[in-house]
Amino acid sequence: MSLKGKVGTEIEIKSPPEKFYNIFKSQAYHVPNAAPNHIQGVDVHEGDWETHGSVKIWKYTAEGESGVFKEKVELDDANRSVTLVGIEGDVMKDYKTFKPIYQVVPKEGESGVFKEKVELDDANRSVSLVRIEGDVMKNYKTFNPNYQVVPKGTASLVKLSIEWETQGVHGT
């Protein structure tokens, strides 16, 4: 059974939107430092860290299994949006299309909304969307939503569970 769809989430951030956008646009090499339990490395395969069309290889762990994800990046500076088009790797064994999209929408002051969605085709497994850990998000130490798409007859059921750890009462 084939399934096409999108899953996503939005989170308010208390960080300058441009700084948050640049993590995904041109500083992806910092992601393993922020989420070492999920992302073990990111390497440039073709191009560089900040050019539209560059290809990167991500080394990750999901549900205790190590994997690699090779993607081609699409950048949209006007909308502060980064799209990772899956082209090879372990996740492509289960999906014809796997395309995470990250967007930062500014709000008043030094805050914004971080939007994350994944476009996929032929989903039959969990989709884990990893959140940046640490001081990028002042209220959360970690925030990890997990989407599970389960075929059910001619439709499907999407289950969402969220694991999070808040900062201490006084921001520690």
166: Cβ contacts below 8 Å, ≥ 6 apart: 139, 140, 141
The residue ranking higher by pLDDT, 38 or 56, is 56
**Ordered DSSP codes for 146-166:** EEEEEEETTEEEEEEEEEEEE
β-partners of residue 68 are 59
Checking if the pLDDT of 86 tops 90, the result is yes
Which 3 state secondary structure label does DSSP give 17?
Answer: helix
For residue 108, what is the DSSP state? Answer: S
Checking if the pLDDT of 148 tops 80, the result is no
Tokens of 51: 């050019």
Checking if the pLDDT of 46 tops 90, the result is yes
Q: Could you tell me the pLDDT band of residue 95, with boundaries at 50, 70 and 90?
A: confident
- The CB-based long-range contact list for 58-63 (8 Å cut-off, 24+ gap) reads 58/89, 60/130, 61/37, 62/38, 62/126, 62/128, 63/126, 63/128
- d(C-alpha 139, C-alpha 93), whole Å: 36
What predicted TM-score, i.e. pTM, was given to this entire model?
0.69
> What is the pLDDT averaged over residues 135-143?
56
Q: Which of 52, 110, 38 is nearest to 81 (CA)?
A: 52
- Amino acid 128: pLDDT: 52
- Amino acid 52: pLDDT: 95
Q: Which of 91, 92, 112, 88 is nearest to 102 (CA)?
A: 112
* Single-letter code of the amino acid located at 162: I
Q: Which of 91-95, 146-150, 164-168 has the highest mean pLDDT?
A: 91-95
Which 3 state secondary structure label does DSSP give 78?
Answer: helix
CB 101 within 8 A of CB 116: yes
| CA 141 to the chain's CA centroid | 16
The residue ranking higher by pLDDT, 8 or 133, is 8
Average pLDDT of every residue of the chain: 79
Q: Which domains does the chain have, with CATH numbers?
A: 4-123 (3.30.530.20)
